[in-house]
Amino acid sequence: MTELTEQAELTAVRLVEGYRKGEFSPVEVTRAALRRAEEGGAAVNAFVRLSPEEALAQAAESAERWRRGEPAGLLDGVPVTVKDILLMRGGPTLRGSRTVAAEGRWDEDAPSVARLREHGAVFLGRTTTPEFGWKGVTDSPLTGITRNPYDLSRTSGGSSGGSAAAVALGAGPLSLGTDGGGSVRIPAAFCGIFALKPTYGRVPLYPASAFGTLSHVGPMTRDAADAALMMDVISAPDTRDWSALGPAAGSFTDGLDGGVRGLRVAFSASLGGQVAVRPQVAAAVRRGVEGLAALGAYVEEADPDFTDPVAAFHVLWFGGAARVTQRLGPRGRALLDPGLREICDVGARCSALDHLAAVDVRMELGRRMGRFHETYDVLVTPTLPVTAFEAGAEVPRGSGHRRWTGWTPFTYPFNMTQQPAATVPVGVDGDGLPVGLQIVAARHRDDLVLRTAHALYTAGIAGIAPPVTL
């Protein structure tokens, strides 16, 4: 590999170490990341826009700070990307929609973006999303189809599909995504990277999502150690989020190395037979679970005590979609993704009583999972029952599913309960497509999810080869 190629594949942890030792410069690393973004960008379509001149200027400022031995923070000089749902000053946040006007001041950062900026991160650009982040794949009338770096005929997943593809390509080791029903975990699983949906409120969000307290902000990274480092930055409180949690009890990075010996792990291969999982996915996830047992965890096959809450999730999700598009007149609605327009019509017909009944389901689900975690420290499942399918489709061909929730039954329940959940790559199927293993813990135990994932990476159980350079 050339030096630039090597730098494009380094973790954020390794980059910061290298800057501290003077092994390489933020400018070199940023050039390498931009090259990956430009080389793979056209084919994969991971970016709404790249900002090479701004990024290189930020990198030069970082290089000078490192030269003086005065880094701005924990991520000084590390290239990052941001999903085009989160505000980032200096350019429009179009949210994948032709109904959002690009004109305006655009002078405010979302809390997580602001924290990255304060810590000296280098912003490469904005990544693609389906319109308003409404579905589990990434295509929109505004930006077209985002493809999978492992196979351009397949989807990257969504809704943070551009972010997942960017990290997989080597276009920066870190990306900010959002997750309302699986939207960091789905594309991370399809693209072979790590992603964490933190406990709700752990990472502040502003403006508030129309999807309410289903929507989380989370890191999408090379591995669990990078996610922990990123969490140490983006989890700082922000008064603009009325539902944000207080400061974290300690450093997520400092809590990584406890291992899993003695950890009580519940392994649910199919949520009690409710989900048909493809055999190659099931086999890869089971090998990952066997790896946890070999590391000293107490593993038991046990299913959480709930039935599929999809009907209640649809009420909440479709209602949020109707709310986010409520301002649009007939001309604006005609510009929407047809699938989004369809669920908005359904959501608009839901009554307040329908919504409150869905909240009742959500609260009961949370109670059941709270009791479950009195017995088990973590729950492990497949992240998804399938690997990446054809690009441009909401559901796999021939699956019989109507909506994206039909093939994501392992992800959205934990948005309803607000629990931390991560996906870890644990292999590939016969077509070379990544398989993800999901780790879930009780609310506020993000540290436990990260520690379990880190143990898998340290043991060589997690992690797959990057896609071949396009």
Q: Look-up: residue for tokens 């790896």?
A: 291
First to last CA, the chain: 15
> Token pair of 370, please?
């709270």
> Token pair of 103, please?
């004109």
> What span, in angstroms and rounded, lies between the C-alpha atoms of 25 and 59?
8
> Token pair of 220, please?
């999408």
The pLDDT value given to residue 41 = 75
> What span, in angstroms and rounded, lies between the C-alpha atoms of 89 and 172?
19
Distances (CA, A) of 378 to 198, 278, 431: 14, 23, 30
Query: Which residues pair with residue 194 across a beta bridge?
Result: 221
Across all residues in the chain, what is the average pLDDT? 97
**Coil/strand/helix, residue 385:** coil
The pLDDT value given to residue 470 = 62
Residue-wise pLDDT for 272-318, tens only, equals 999 999 999 999 999 999 999 999 999 999 999 999 999 999 999 99
The pLDDT value given to residue 219 = 99
Report the b/e string of 306-324 with b at 16+ CB within 10 A.
beebbebbbbbbbbbbbbb
Q: How confident is the model at residue 176 (pLDDT cuts 50, 70, 90)?
A: very high
Residue-wise pLDDT for 50-106, tens only, equals 999 999 999 999 999 999 999 999 999 999 999 999 999 999 999 999 999 999 899
The pLDDT value given to residue 5 = 64
Q: What is the average per-residue pLDDT within 113-141?
A: 98
Q: How confident is the model at residue 4 (pLDDT cuts 50, 70, 90)?
A: low
The pLDDT value given to residue 94 = 97
The pLDDT value given to residue 42 = 83
Q: What is the average per-residue pLDDT within 241-261?
A: 96
> What span, in angstroms and rounded, lies between the C-alpha atoms of 287 and 276?
18
pTM over 0.95: yes
> What span, in angstroms and rounded, lies between the C-alpha atoms of 319 and 106?
27
Q: How confident is the model at residue 1 (pLDDT cuts 50, 70, 90)?
A: very low
The residues spanned by each domain of the chain are 3-458
Tally of CB atoms within 10 A around 1: 9
Whether residue 225 is predicted with pLDDT greater than 90 in this model: the reply is yes
Residue-wise pLDDT for 358-404, tens only, equals 999 999 999 999 999 999 999 999 999 999 999 999 999 999 999 99
Assigned superfamily of 3-458: Amidase signature (AS) domain (3.90.1300.10)
> What span, in angstroms and rounded, lies between the C-alpha atoms of 13 and 83?
21
Catalytic residues: 83, 159, 183
Full strand arrangement of the beta sheet holding 47-50: 47-50, 122-127, 79-83, 174-179, 216-221, 194-197, 421-428, 434-441, 378-382, 264-267, 298-301
Residue 298 φ/ψ region, left for φ over 0, alpha for ψ in the -120 to 50 degree band, beta for the rest: beta
The pLDDT value given to residue 3 = 65
> What span, in angstroms and rounded, lies between the C-alpha atoms of 147 and 298?
39
> What span, in angstroms and rounded, lies between the C-alpha atoms of 143 and 132?
12
